[in-house]
């Protein structure tokens, strides 16, 4: 791993650079596929499924028979684990419900706000080297709680044209309405425009590789909302001598095994801990089934030593990590001063894996520094806040002149007239 000692602030941008391609390197490919799918729909999706996933499909929609067969292949132990995780995620997300907010701003002027579900949502679930059925829980559970009517799921097929049974089981369990064997850019484009079989949706959710991330951003140009820019996974651990080096190393590796473009960072005020963690990483990585992937990700990763806690927190906020583990004695200082992070894991016995699967919080989080301005997925992500107002005759009389004066000052006389007519009618009655 790359060890860096007391980096100067002027060098932080270079030190904290993510191992991702520039958008303009990917955008051309994405735009071309979007253009083709907008024009020729399913035919183009089939072409790119064969090109990128190595399988020719006659039908990209999962049938009831395929769903049933897949569910039967999932072990009872895994089903029980998924059920427990689902229960915890439901508890946490149901607690996020808010009631109607109603207020009378002036006598006779009633204003209120209510939340309504987004009717059609699309979920993108990565398949590739790891079938992320856990992401279905993170997206479909809050979609169900919100009351979304149509929940469309896209995920890439394997070389046999099949979808991992755990994905099928979890989708069925969580109320997904349609499942499609479509991955990558073509899935995002298909849900953006709609095709002969794949429905158009109003908002797209889910993580993916750099191509999927850029595709989601381009989808917004065509009137489709997205949850956030969520690309390759990342983790930053802040630890001092109170941390367990073996635990820290295991957390770094748990993110490194996601993909070769993942990044993990350790920031510490202890040189001894950095040395111990480095040794633990070297030992633990040897027994990982996804060792080759983890090795490449670790090559992009950093062990950063800083002298002062204030310097450490400044650096962490500058990075804005997706996942942020905090194992320090001065816990309160770091929590009070952390402003940029997707999800925070506190203490030696809170692995990031808990949030990925079963603690209840959502693991669909902003990456690539977007934690500075984006939240992770939550119940409100699947809802819209709508405002309402009802004004009585007394109410329009109370605020009518204010509206007239302001409208006239802006030169919008039709706005003024809409009020003037009402005030005159009341005066004549």
93 is in an annotated binding site: no
Q: Cα–Cα distance between 144 and 174 in angstroms, integer?
A: 7
379 CB-side CA count, 13 A: 18
186 is in an annotated binding site: yes
255 is in an annotated binding site: yes
169 is in an annotated binding site: no
Task: Tell me the sheet residues that pair with 305.
Answer: 5, 268
Q: Which residue is catalytic, options 323, 352, 363, 404?
A: 323
322 has catalytic annotation: yes
340 is in an annotated binding site: no
Q: Which residue is catalytic, options 66, 234, 257, 322?
A: 322
Q: Cα–Cα distance between 209 and 188 in angstroms, integer?
A: 12
Our CA angle for 366, 291, 164, nearest 5°, is: 65
Q: Cα–Cα distance between 122 and 206 in angstroms, integer?
A: 9
Is 312 in contact with 16 (CB distance < 8 Å)?
no
209 is in an annotated binding site: yes
Our CA angle for 175, 355, 80, nearest 5°, is: 50
Instruction: Give me 55's structure tokens.
Output: 């399988």
Task: Tell me the sheet residues that pair with 345.
Answer: 325
Q: Cα–Cα distance between 415 and 404 in angstroms, integer?
A: 8
Q: Cα–Cα distance between 38 and 35 in angstroms, integer?
A: 5
373 is in an annotated binding site: no
410 is in an annotated binding site: yes
- In the numeric block, the tokens 């706005």 are attached to 415
Task: Tell me the sheet residues that pair with 152.
Answer: 122, 178
258 is in an annotated binding site: yes
93 has catalytic annotation: no
Residues with Cβ within 8 Å of 170's Cβ and at least 6 positions away in sequence, in order, are 82, 133, 134, 136, 137, 140
Q: Which residues are annotated as a binding site for substrate?
A: 233, 255, 258, 323, 356, 410, 415
Binding-site residue ranges for Zn(2+): 255, 258, 356, 415
Active site residues: 322-323
């Amino acid at each position: 791993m790359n060890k860096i000692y007391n980096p100067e602030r002027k060098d932080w941008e270079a030190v904290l650079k993510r191992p991702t391609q520039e958008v303009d390197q990917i955008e051309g490919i994405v735009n071309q596929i979007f253009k083709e799918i907008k024009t020729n729909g399913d035919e183009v999706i089939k072409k790119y499924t064969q090109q990128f996933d190595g399988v020719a499909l006659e039908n990209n929609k999962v049938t009831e028979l395929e769903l049933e067969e897949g569910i039967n292949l999932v072990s009872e132990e895994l089903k029980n684990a998924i059920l427990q995780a689902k229960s915890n995620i439901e508890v946490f997300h149901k607690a996020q419900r808010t009631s109607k907010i109603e207020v009378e701003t002036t006598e006779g002027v009633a204003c209120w706000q209510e939340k309504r579900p987004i009717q059609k949502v699309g979920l993108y679930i990565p398949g590739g080297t790891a079938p992320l059925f856990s992401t279905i829980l993170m997206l479909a559970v809050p979609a169900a709680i919100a009351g979304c009517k149509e929940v469309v799921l896209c995920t890439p097929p394997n070389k046999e044209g099949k979808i991992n049974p755990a994905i099928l089981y979890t989708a069925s369990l969580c109320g997904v309405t349609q499942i499609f064997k479509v991955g990558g850019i073509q899935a995002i484009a298909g849900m953006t425009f709609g095709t002969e079989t794949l429905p158009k949706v109003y908002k797209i959710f889910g993580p993916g590789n750099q191509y999927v991330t850029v595709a989601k951003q381009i989808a917004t140009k065509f009137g489709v909302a997205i949850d956030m820019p969520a690309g390759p996974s990342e983790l930053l651990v802040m630890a001092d001598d109170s941390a367990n080096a073996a635990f820290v190393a295991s957390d770094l590796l748990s993110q490194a095994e996601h993909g070769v473009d993942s990044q993990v960072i350790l920031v510490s005020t202890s040189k001894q801990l950095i040395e111990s963690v480095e040794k633990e990483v070297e030992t633990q990585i040897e027994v990982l089934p996804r060792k080759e992937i983890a090795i490449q990700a670790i090559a992009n990763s950093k062990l950063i030593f800083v002298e002062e806690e204030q310097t450490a927190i400044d650096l962490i906020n500058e990075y804005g990590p997706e996942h942020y583990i905090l194992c320090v004695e001065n816990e309160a200082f770091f929590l009070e001063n952390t402003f940029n992070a997707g999800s925070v894991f506190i203490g030696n016995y809170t692995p990031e894996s808990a949030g990925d699967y079963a603690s209840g919080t959502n693991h669909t989080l902003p990456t690539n520094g977007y934690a500075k301005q984006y939240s992770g997925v939550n119940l409100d992500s699947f809802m819209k806040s709508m405002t309402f107002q009802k004004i009585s005759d007394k109410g329009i009389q109370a605020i009518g002149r204010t509206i007239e004066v302001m409208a006239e000052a802006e030169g919008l006389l039709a706005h003024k007239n809409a009020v003037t007519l009402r005030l005159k009618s009341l005066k004549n009655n």
